[in-house]
Amino acid sequence: MEFSEFIKTPKVEEAFLEGSCISKMIGSACLTGHHLILYSHSGDNAEHWILHKNVDAIDRRFGNDKCQITLKCKDFETYCLTVLSQEDATNIANSIEVLSSLDNINLQYPFFYKATNSLSESNLGSIEEDFLMISNVSDQWRISEVNNNFQICPTYPQRIIVPKSISDQMIFKSSEFRNLGRFPILSYCHHNGRVVMRCSQPQIGTNNRRCKEDEKLINVVLGSHHRGYIMDTRTQQIALQARSKGGGTETEFNYPQWKKIHHNLSRPSALYDSICKLVEVSRDKGCAVDKWRSRLESSNWLHHVKEVLTASCLVSQCLDKEGASVLIHCADGFDSTLQITSLTQIILNPECRTLRGFLNLVEKEWILYGHPFRERCARSVYSVGKASRDEGPTFLLFLDCVHQLQHQYPLSFEFDGSLLCQIARHTYASQFGTFLCNNELERFTSRVRSKTTSLWSHLLSDDVFPSYLNPVYQPRSDTIWPSVAPQSLMLWGELFTPFVDPSAVTRRCLRSNKLYLHELRSTINELSKEVSQLEEQEEKLKT
Amino acid sequence: MSMRRTFKLKVNQVLHRPQHHNSAAAASDHDNPLKDIKLAGAYEHVYQLSPSSEVDGLLLPGEITVGHAKEVISYVLHDENRRGTSGLLVCTNFRLMFVTDKPPYCNLIAVDNKLIGPQDVTLSNIETIYIEKQNGKRKKLYPTSRNIKDGIQKLEIHCKDFRILTYSFKLSVLGEGKNIVRAILHHSYPQDSSLSFAMEYISKKASKETSTKEASNISSKVVSLYRKVDDWEKLIMTSQAMKGRWRITSINETFSLSATMPGLFVVPSSLSDAFLKDAIHQYNNNRLPIWCYTHPNKCSLLRSSNFREESVQFQVDQKIRQEITKCDPSGRKIRMMDLNKMCPTLQQVQMSFHKLKTSCMPANEDEYMESDGKWYSTLQTIKWLQFVSCCLEVARTCVDHIDSGLGTVLLIETLGVDWTACISCLVQVLIDPTKRTIDGLSELIQREWIIGCHPFTTRLGILHQPKKSSKFQPESSTSDHPEVCKSPIFMVFLDCLYQILTQESTKVEYTSFFLTSLADGTRLPVFDTFIFNNERERNRTLQQLNQQRTTDIETISIWDWDVQYPHHVQQLFINPLYRCKRFHHLVATTTPPLGGNSIATNDDVTSPNTLDLTTTPKVEKLKSSKKSSTHHRSASDSTCLDTTTSSMTSSSTPHGHKRINSNSYEVPYQPPQGRSVFYCAGDERPDSGRSVANSRSSSTDNMAAEDDEAVVIGLVDQVNSRAPQVAERLRFVPNSANNNNDVIGCRDDDDVMQVKTGVQYLRFWKFAYLRWVSFSQLIGGGESPQVEQENKMADEIVQLASKIEHLEAQLCNGDTSVTSPPPRVDDVTVQFVSSYFPYLAISNKSANKSTLGRVYNFSRKKEGKSTTSASAPSPKIHHHHHHTEGKPPHRPAPLSPAQVAASSHHMVALSEQQQTSEGGTYNRLSSGV
């Protein structure tokens, strides 16, 4: 096994582990190819596993009598491992450093992880199901094989839904006109037949190229009388500047049926800076009382949340109130574009607020349509300076927006906040293959889907999903309009400031409300079960 | 649930009302239950009355009209296009009342208040008055303003509860505006509390009601007012830890020794009255250290003012401290906490509250949204939450000290009437579960704040002090001296309680609505609770009043919620999670193990299974409980019938709310909330001690209430004799006893609450401060609907449980033909519950607008920018922009003809702009292509 060459000290008998989310442990530390494991000696057989992949940065502090290694993790937690020998400490730190940054996809933990009980295929993101839904509303669509073997767009799936009246040839032309081949494609079809489409920027360039096929492709969606909106998530100025690099934005002259909206959303790199500041503030226990809020404000994170929510609200209004279709793109079409398309669906479509519906949405929008998880989530907040420009918590911002919606409409979601937290953690380090790779082509090449277990299968398995259910869920059929006022936006405490007070009592109290509601729900179920049993008995007596 | 039932009843009433009253309104509006309630309520009898007499029926006893203006337009709050309703504006000696025969466009308060209508405002709620002249000049009026001339176009009233009311006189007869403004000004700033409306009210009310004395007035008697020795005795006799060490003294019964001390208070037994009489003058403000609380570990909490600096008799202070130390048998040292140093000053709080008010009272939506970018730093500079955090932190320090048995804590403050009250209350809430119930909390507030002589009149600025604060800015006021300083310490306290609620909502019984009701109660001069500075003032005022009469008049306390709210509204006080927790206490675990109590050890021990919060173990336990001893069986069967029958009759009471008396008590105790079904076996509700005491002989009275455990013993006893079946059935008592009882669940409520005090964990209390800002609410979102949903779950459990009872009873008897199962209540769901429910119930039509308002921010900004390139839209359209529904940018949608018709039906057409046909940039643009 090739991992062993990186591991000089596989086991240390006496080690201490402290962490912001665990109580202090004393025991032996073991190093494996993928984990640092601490077995407790205290007789309760406790063990704690830290995935190497989760380690973002390592601090070494070596003293004479003990050596401390601080592991700063990508899920914002920090652990402090103390061993006695300096040699052991150096070896462990070096090993973790190497093992946490292995690039070879085939060495990633998901390829080694075997689920304890076989999980059934979740079947999320199925195009047939999607197509069936759309057929109920409109018969203008068909399934196309034009992207077979990813020949026209590597970041789209192989089978796609396209307008019936558009030939594969025209789609091919359109994809040549768009950045990275991401031609306009259906994202969501509202019950009134209006649609949200997404794409990347058109390659207009300095010599004002145009593409008749591309114009036709999006116009056909509108029908003859309707008008639509194109939302560009860059400012007008940036969009125009992009022309010098071969990009650009649709001209009103060539797209007369469309009205342009520019809504500036930040690029991943800006989000990365913001979240670094945010975590710094939220994890700073000693922050002065009268500084906290202004530091929070200067991190700008909640401003980003607000902007994304506002843009999604706007698109939702266009669709629902105005009855107009919307085309959304940024430069590449797989960052802020996806935030808006998916949030719009959550606002408008009650189906996306169910547990399965939400996971389906993430699979469909983010995984299948090519959000580059590998690049965006390679590093986290503790590797400032080391992170590449591609780094950025775009997906995390989306999850935070969902959390805001959930907080504002506590009854409307079938799942609760802990699901979002789980997903957030799995995007950075996971035993599941769901968030590996940048796009479908890469996943296809590495055979991720066949060789790894899916997070969705795990989350949807019978013994897991009940714990993520919202005990006060009340399905509602209409839209939920979020408030984007700062008074309504909350810092996502469960993710950013969890259990800062490490005493066990507090932790129990924190959880109690939710747990408690769960208990109530199950009490109700038991009682109604008993009622029906008794009623049966009574029936028998009667007859 | 009863809330919903009431809705249905009321809706029916409305539908059966003769149509000629307002047929159009009834027909068009009965899709809106909230509106219908209003129609059925206060406004119903107004419809056919003539202007002169129409008001009389609405007046309270003792209320007289002092001015009115006809054809006044009352504008909808924060409405951009100035829609409003026309009606009669009446000023009385109690309130400013708006009476109209048109259905209100938007309801401010969705619940019935028996004292004031949804569009009324009490005069003591009025903070500032602005008038606008015909020339558009806006002017602020001062209590001393005299020169008010004709030609007032608009009247704007800023309330102390952060509401803004706007009236226009443009349709009324010249001069009426001036008259009513003068009347308001004259009556809004009383200078003496004997002039308070409460005096008029109670004396007139008493004379009216002597003939028809209401018999059913029990609930007000539940809360001890601590003006009689009995109340205090109950308090100190119930605690084993206090026995013999503390006594009640009445040296100040006539308030001759100290104006700011209670008539009765508790001191160490060893201090003689003679000594105290001397000592009292050595303290600032004449306040001795008085007892507040004693923990079972015998550490106590006391409060006092500073020892006079100029005093030379230091030995007095030393002696008192010595004796306090002796009250603790272990002789631990007293810890002095100087709140002057630990808490913010009164002026700081007042400043902060003033800023808070400014930022929570936006004049319009634009102003509100302008503050968006800097909200967090604004919040930081306001410092309000820092102060709340600070109070909680101080309280937590005390709690830690007392709970860990480090010794007695003495709270000290210059005057001893402000922070000492706040901190001592908070400490008791955090440390003592019995203070977390509504009754417990009410008694605590009554004892520490009211009897403890917090100067409400001064601090809340109820009385106008002509010399010192002729201007209202606290900055400019010269009244910085703590004795005359205005400072909303009580609001800080309520905010602290709110923070406790958000962090530990299963452990406290009150809700946000209870807290805001308390805050509003301070501005409702009907009760004697918040209108005096101290007990002596109250006593003297009442004496004067009684001198002119033959019989003594009875004052009304705020705790008598029946005066203010009908029962179904009072139910909103109860936190469903707490209610369930209490219940669950019985369901999931059981009462804590009680040493030496045979009954308890037999029945009330949890199996380790209870730790496992999954479904199965409970089901097993459910089964096993069925096989419990016959003794239980028979005893509980009888009560089962009681429960079911009472629940059946209850659902048909005219109020439509559940009135199940908890059967374990024989006293006709009726908690004001009506949701009493859970308070039964094993329940350590503070009033349980009382109730038990009442139902038993007085000798066991003290015994049973000696401490928590004793109460439980007493109750367990009762469970065996006549426990309600529901509770008994759900006890899940395992047969195998003697297992360890784990912390989770059962000891939970006895825990000292762990409140996180860091400012990052505190929430801005939107429900209180922003409840009148319509565009900040969420329709169908926020906390209120969640509470509603939790209530539903709690009700469902009760229902299922009683259904099981019923079915089992049938099966046992083998008689299948007997009574039908308890009727299931139909769910009439409230359509428009917003995050501020029950405040600011916006009608359906404006619902979407108010939430979508936030997005306009963007669209308007965008439009402003894009107009530079595209053809500029006319200002009209720009204006139009705000009030059309669900509008995307660049394209204001027209009001549909139906909408226009509907809106103009209720509203005085104020602006032709509303009906301008819609052009918009988009159309122009596309037609050009």
Which of chain B's residues have a Cβ under 8 Å away from the Cβ of A503? 754
Q: Look over chain A and give the mean of its residue pLDDT values, rounded to a whole number.
A: 89
More confident residue, A405 or B741: A405
With CB atoms and an 8 Å threshold, state whether B886 touches A317: yes
Residue A418 has pLDDT above 50, yes or no: yes
Residue B700 has pLDDT above 60, yes or no: no
One DSSP character per residue, B524-581 reads -TTSSSSS-SSHHHHHHHHHHHHHTSSSPPPP--TT-GGGTS-HHHHGGGS-HHHHHH
Which of chain A's residues have a Cβ under 8 Å away from the Cβ of B584? 516, 519-520, 523
Which of chain B's residues have a Cβ under 8 Å away from the Cβ of A320? 886
> Which residue in chain B has the smallest CA separation from A486?
B372
With CB atoms and an 8 Å threshold, state whether A259 touches B922: yes
Task: Count the Cβ atoms, other than its own, within 10 Å of residue A357.
Answer: 17
The per-residue pLDDT for B922 is: 26
Residue B724 has pLDDT above 90, yes or no: no
Residue B865 has pLDDT above 50, yes or no: no
The per-residue pLDDT for B642 is: 34
The per-residue pLDDT for A252 is: 87
The helix or strand, by DSSP H or E, that contains position A392, with its residue range, turns out to be: none
| B270-B272-B273 Cα angle (round to 5) | 145
Cα B612 to its chain centre, rounded Å, is 36
β-strand partners of B88? B99
* B371: closest CA of chain A, how far (Å): 9
The per-residue pLDDT for A22 is: 76
With CB atoms and an 8 Å threshold, state whether A538 touches B848: no
CA distance B559 to B450: 12
pLDDT tens per residue, range B330-339: 888 999 999 9
* B203: closest CA of chain A, how far (Å): 45
Residue B262 has pLDDT above 50, yes or no: yes
Alpha-carbon distance values, A359 to A333, A350, B646 (Å): 21, 13, 47
Contact present, B25 and B836 (Cβ < 8 Å):
no
Alpha-carbon distance values, B372 to A267, A453, B379, B782, B857 (Å): 22, 44, 11, 20, 10
Considering A408-412, A474-478, B603-607, the range whose residues carry the highest mean pLDDT is: A408-412
One DSSP character per residue, A499-518 reads T-S--HHHHHHHHHHHHHHH
The per-residue pLDDT for A146 is: 93
With CB atoms and an 8 Å threshold, state whether B506 touches A302: no
The helix or strand, by DSSP H or E, that contains position B384, with its residue range, turns out to be: helix B384-403
Residue B388 has pLDDT above 50, yes or no: yes
pLDDT bracket for residue B910 (50, 70, 90)? very low
Closest to B200 (Cα-Cα) out of B64, B376, B13, B52: B64
pLDDT tens per residue, range B11-68: 333 333 333 333 333 333 333 333 333 333 333 333 333 445 667 778 888 888 888 8
More confident residue, B897 or B93: B93
**Encoded tokens for A466:** 């009940």
Residue A389 has pLDDT above 90, yes or no: no
With CB atoms and an 8 Å threshold, state whether A485 touches B854: yes
CA torsion sign, A252 to A255 to A261 to A265? Answer: negative
pLDDT tens per residue, range B872-902: 232 222 222 333 333 333 322 332 333 323 3
The per-residue pLDDT for A5 is: 84
Give yes or no for B748 touching A (CB within 8 A). Answer: yes
Residue B656 has pLDDT above 90, yes or no: no
Q: Look over chain B and give the mean of its residue pLDDT values, rounded to a whole number.
A: 67
Contact present, A76 and A380 (Cβ < 8 Å):
yes
**Taking residues B674-681, what's their average pLDDT?**
30
The per-residue pLDDT for A186 is: 95
* A492: closest CA of chain B, how far (Å): 11
Catalytic positions of A, written as ranges = 330
pLDDT tens per residue, range A121-132: 888 888 999 999
Residue B698 has pLDDT above 80, yes or no: no
**Encoded tokens for B468:** 């010192």
Q: Which of A105-119, A219-233, B290-304, B679-693 has the lowest mean pLDDT?
A: B679-693
| B810-B813-B815 Cα angle (round to 5) | 65
Contact present, B723 and B636 (Cβ < 8 Å):
yes
Closest to A81 (Cα-Cα) out of A60, A54, A51: A60
CA distance A331 to A211: 18
The per-residue pLDDT for B105 is: 62
Q: Under 8 Å CB-to-CB from A62, ≥6 apart: which residues?
A: A68, A86, A89, A90
How much of chain B is helix, strand and coil, in % rounded to 5? 50, 10, 45
Q: Which residue has the tokens 């009311």?
A: B165
Residue B850 has pLDDT above 50, yes or no: no
pLDDT tens per residue, range B526-544: 898 898 899 999 999 888 8
The per-residue pLDDT for A243 is: 92
| B159-B165-B170 Cα angle (round to 5) | 140
The per-residue pLDDT for A6 is: 87
**Taking residues B454-483, what's their average pLDDT?**
65
B839 DSSP assignment:
B
pLDDT bracket for residue B488 (50, 70, 90)? very high
CA distance A335 to B851: 27
With CB atoms and an 8 Å threshold, state whether B848 touches A501: no
**Of A282, A485, A509, which is closest to B754 when you measure between CB atoms?**
A509
pLDDT tens per residue, range B173-224: 888 888 899 999 888 888 776 677 888 888 787 666 554 444 444 444 578 8
pLDDT bracket for residue B466 (50, 70, 90)? low
Q: Under 8 Å CB-to-CB from B520, ≥6 apart: which residues?
A: B161
**Taking residues B643-657, what's their average pLDDT?**
33
> Which residue in chain A has the smallest CA separation from B769?
A487
Residue B689 has pLDDT above 70, yes or no: no
CA distance B405 to A140: 76
Cα B52 to its chain centre, rounded Å, is 35
Closest to B196 (Cα-Cα) out of B548, B543, B462: B462
3-state secondary structure of B659: coil
Helix H segments across B761-870?
Answer: 766-769, 783-813, 844-866
With CB atoms and an 8 Å threshold, state whether A296 touches B376: yes
pLDDT tens per residue, range B557-593: 999 898 899 888 888 898 888 877 665 544 443 333 3
3-state secondary structure of B156: strand
More confident residue, B29 or B346: B346
Alpha-carbon distance values, B314 to B202, B283, B308 (Å): 46, 11, 9
ipTM score of the complex?
0.89
pLDDT bracket for residue B329 (50, 70, 90)? confident
The per-residue pLDDT for B193 is: 67
Which of chain B's residues have a Cβ under 8 Å away from the Cβ of A257? 926
Contact present, B513 and B501 (Cβ < 8 Å):
no
* B window 614-653, beta carbon within 8 A of A: 614-615, 618-619, 622
% residues pLDDT > 70 (chain B) = 59
With CB atoms and an 8 Å threshold, state whether B505 touches A513: yes
One DSSP character per residue, B432-470 reads -GGGGSHHHHHHHHIIIIIITT--HHHHTT-S--TTTTS
pLDDT bracket for residue B107 (50, 70, 90)? low
Chain A with chain B: Cβ pairs closer than 8 A: 228
pLDDT tens per residue, range B229-250: 989 988 888 778 888 889 999 9
The per-residue pLDDT for A58 is: 93
